[in-house]
Amino acid sequence: MNRLQPTSTFLTCALALAGHATAQQMLITTDTGTDSIVAFSPVDGSLIGANQFAIDTLIQVSAIEVGSEIWVSQQIGDRIKRYDHCGNWLGDIGPTFPGGGLDNVRGMVFHNGVVYACNDGGGNGATPNSLTTFDAAGNWLATYALAGINSPFGVVPFQGDLLVTGSSGLDDVHRYTTAGVSLGTFHNSTSVNFAHQVGVASDGNVWVASSSTPSGVTKLDAANGNVLLQFAGTSARGVYELANGNVLWTGSAGAFVYDPSTSTSTQVYAGSCYQLNPVATDWACHKPYGVGCHDWGIDSSNLLQLFGDVPGAKAALDGNALQFALTGTGYTATWLPGVAAGLWVAPTAGATVVADGTATTGTFTPSAPIPVPGGVATAWTVSSEGVLTAGAEGNQGTSSTATLASTATQPGLAWYTWFNQNPVESGSGKIQWEELGGVLYVTFDGVECGVGSPTIAPSTYQWQIDMASGTVTMLWTSLSGSNSTSDVLVGCTLAGAGLTPVSTPLASALPLVLAPDPAPMALTAAPRPVINPSTLVSYTATSVPEFAPGAGIYVGTMFLSVNPLPGGFDLAGILTTVPGCSTWIATLDLDLGGTLNVAPTLTWTFAFDSAFFAPGNVIAAQAVALFDPAFPQVNGEAGGFLFSNGVRSTTWPQ
């Protein structure tokens, strides 16, 4: 590999970067309105960042630091989601795992190497009203059924034991050993109602946030649990005493700082926030953002038809089926008119209800892995809105708004009969799954449409997945008779991001083959940018286009910038001739130099050192590949440039 010289010096860039804003120890909470982690100063409660990183939907109650990770409890999703400090998703714990499960998980704390999670329900193999414990690697340790409390919501270490709040009946705050053994009532009165987060004050006493009338924050005596102080706070959920003696609290309207000297609360953030927890350790990480350019002209990784209303979808789908036969890397899709009634298999009494809620998802695990393109799926997730995903993470979350564009960035292999549906509407049937004769059946059995009229307008349709061959058959016995003008999206998308699909008439365009598209040019970075000691980070661009047909060489350069551009800017008409290639950095602060290789992979190295960088410096990177414009790409691009996604690197000491 050959390297050309940079166009600007290391020192110039390093000095500019060293002056960039730094991160710090902070308090974090979740905002379920924006689905993001929000950060505040632990000194005065001022806002540090309104969007530290994006999180999934389904009500996130507690975000805590576990080693070098951030764990977020997903109350409606019945799982704990694990992220690094840049927001890269690392995996999930639950809904089921060897030893038990989670159902309506709420507050959490990491104490002496153990994560304690408050669990409310008994679904997914979980123990109702319990503390479920894990080690820092996510392994289940034990589940403690809690006596003396109902619907646990918050937990905090206290004098060698634990205090746990209850949101419904029995004690407001109860004391337990770290093994879940009851030590008796700590506090129970009408002063506290729907106790949410519990925390220890600087003087050793106890703060409790309660979200129902009289909602607010209460300070309890550490010796006897008596009320020492109380102030109002609408739908209070989180509480943390700041270093300056004030109190940061959160609720359904955002975050507020209470000043005891004036007995007033001042809003510092507007949103829908939950529990507050400190984070203090290593934030060194790389976060990819945006998407790289592609050089293909047609996206064959999906087959989707968008109907403009429910009646149109009903007319096209009723009585018909759509089959996807596994090819190894994709599927052959075939339209099967008029066969739905003959293929339909009614759920038996042994079927399991799943995703039983308004705009919710449910994950289940069949008895054996099922073949899918490139491997197998062990867990499946179904949305109450009509999306079945082969994986523990469902496409589209809980969205009921069907769009073609939203499928382009969804990562999972999924099948869609996507529109607003509600299995808990009065008179509705349920979503159920079961295995019969080696076939996995997922059935919407008379599930009500959530919009339009008449009021009673159920849908009955089914996915049938052959567990041996991986063939998936979608059949529609009777779609909703609603007059809703909401869009309905039907079909399949393979795993991985792609172009925004076009609507394809299912009945007339089949059969056809779904296959993965070539990957867009992608940039990654490793190892983490630790600045003490110095770390040499390698940035690697893959799927680089050949400079010219038959040339056998691949050429490009990479820029660093102190100004990430998360929204991107399309370069069509400037440096490219086809829309879809964007810059993800706002300034070109350092060119790491031209590189060529005889393979479609290019690499650059860059040293992160405390002599030039401070903790929390954010440095963005983007690679550019060069090709001879006399030989346009497959998609017609003739500008001579293709661009990678961006990578945002955050520095931190070891």
| Euclidean distance between CA atoms 515 and 494, whole angstroms | 8
pLDDT over 90, % of the chain = 76
Is the predicted pLDDT of residue 8 greater than 50, yes or no?
Answer: no
Within 10 A of 233 (CB to CB), how many other CB atoms are there? 25
The alpha carbon of 460 is separated from its chain's Cα centroid by a whole number of angstroms, namely: 30
Pairing of strands 618-626, 554-561: antiparallel
Is the predicted pLDDT of residue 487 greater than 90, yes or no?
Answer: yes
* Mean of the per-residue pLDDT values of the chain: 91
Give the full edge-to-edge strand order of the sheet including 236-241: 236-241, 247-251, 254-259, 264-270
Q: What is the mean pLDDT of residues 233-244?
A: 95
Query: Which residue, among 560, 506, 468, has the nearest Cα to 337 in the 3D structure?
Result: 506
Poorest-pLDDT segment among 205-219, 363-377, 421-435, 492-506: 492-506
Is the predicted pLDDT of residue 175 greater than 80, yes or no?
Answer: yes
Encoded tokens for 89: 């998703």
Comparing 615 with 569, which gets the higher pLDDT? 569
Strand ranges (E), 467-581? 472-478, 488-493, 512-514, 522-526, 535-542, 554-561, 564-570
Q: What is the mean pLDDT of residues 284-304?
A: 85
Overall pTM surpassing 0.95 (yes/no): no
Contact 649, 286 (CB under 8 A): yes
**Residue type at 651?**
T
Per-residue pLDDT tens over the stretch 18-68: 444 344 588 999 999 999 999 999 999 999 888 888 888 778 899 999 998
316 membership: H or E segment, kind and range: helix 310-317
Domains of the chain, each with CATH number or no CATH: 2-10+286-295+519-650 (2.60.40), 24-282 (2.120.10.30), 302-514 (no CATH)
Poorest-pLDDT segment among 3-7, 427-431, 540-544, 572-576: 3-7
Q: What is the mean pLDDT of residues 469-492?
A: 97
Query: Which residue, among 90, 180, 172, has the nearest Cα to 137 in the 3D structure?
Result: 90
Contact 257, 247 (CB under 8 A): yes
The alpha carbon of 340 is separated from its chain's Cα centroid by a whole number of angstroms, namely: 35
